[in-house]
Amino acid sequence: MKVEARIFEVIALFFFVVGVVYTIATFYYRTGVEWAGATAMFFSGGLALLAGTYFRFVARRVEIRPEDFDDAEIEDGAGELGFFSPHSYWPILIAGAAALFAIGFASANWWFAVGVVPIIVACVAGLVFEYHVGPEKH
């Protein structure tokens, strides 16, 4: 996980540096700062930093993986990778609810978009707690 953390941290640093350069450049070469691009640069850096921080946090709690070694071979990563739910319908429901939210938001139907938020939260809760309730409970 340290490799992934480094990648996202470098991407975040790139976006922050380019955001500062972009903001200064648009300030001096236009009549003022071009806020849409500057905001996009800094938000992109923030999102990359968020992902990098998550990977750095997780890297402390998992054992060292073959990807963390410079001299690792492909065979070092063989074996079981994890548990993946074979029959979950929750991701489809989350995607459908998110699409409904996007339609409501894009068409300025705020009552519709706000009304779909509890459905999204319920679907995410269903996904998170799928194996903690019902017949699949261990």
Lowest-pLDDT choice from 20-29, 57-66, 76-85, 91-100: 76-85
At residue 6, the pLDDT reads 93
From its phi and psi, is residue 82 left (phi > 0), alpha (psi between -120 and 50) or beta? left
Answer with the residue of higher pLDDT: 119 or 28.
119
CB 113 within 8 A of CB 104: yes
Domain spans, the chain: 2-73, 90-136
Condensed to tens digits (0 to 9), the pLDDT of residues 70-117 reads 888 888 888 887 777 788 899 999 999 999 999 999 999 999 999 999
CB atoms within 10 A of CB 46: 14
